[in-house]
Amino acid sequence: MDGGLPNFKRWNIIYPIYINSKKTIAEGRRINASKACENPTCIEIGDCCKHLKIPCAIELDKAYPRDFMQRGRVRVLLKREDGSFYNPAISSKKQLMLQVAEFVPRHPGRVKKQEPASTASAAGTSKSGKGGKKKK
């Protein structure tokens, strides 16, 4: 990988906001909202790139220029030096973003995070429903 370090600045950059379904196009989303995922992190994007066998580097200290509170970005290398793709199924940055957005909701860390939240929200709605009936 020592030969790849000088070209590191020429790698493509993917910010998590590019595939965030909660953001608008004006705020920086780059793919269709129906295909995007909810609040991805750069760690999840990096894991998805490794799963797709695409070289990547996670930069946690970098921020998105339009929203400096969004920390982290991922640098990816789509082509080898000879011009062939690392993953023949992914030939552009947009295709990579679509694939990553498809894999992020199935990320092992994400599945564990969302299960308790869904049960808590279901319990909260049932309590609020009972409270509404008492007021009538």
Query: One-letter amino acid identity for 73?
Result: R
Reading the block at residue 29, the tokens are 């989303």
Q: How many residues does the chain have?
A: 136
With 0-12 / 13-18 / 19 or more C-beta atoms within 10 angstroms meaning exposed / middle / buried, residue 37 is buried
- The pLDDT of 67-85, averaged and rounded, is 90
- Tell me what pLDDT residue 10 has: 87
State how far the Cα of 62 lies from the Cα of 68, in Å rounded to an integer.
Answer: 9
Reading the block at residue 2, the tokens are 């020592």
Q: Is the pLDDT of residue 136 over 70?
A: no
> Are 16 and 70 within 8 A, CB to CB?
yes
The more confident residue out of 125 and 94 is 94
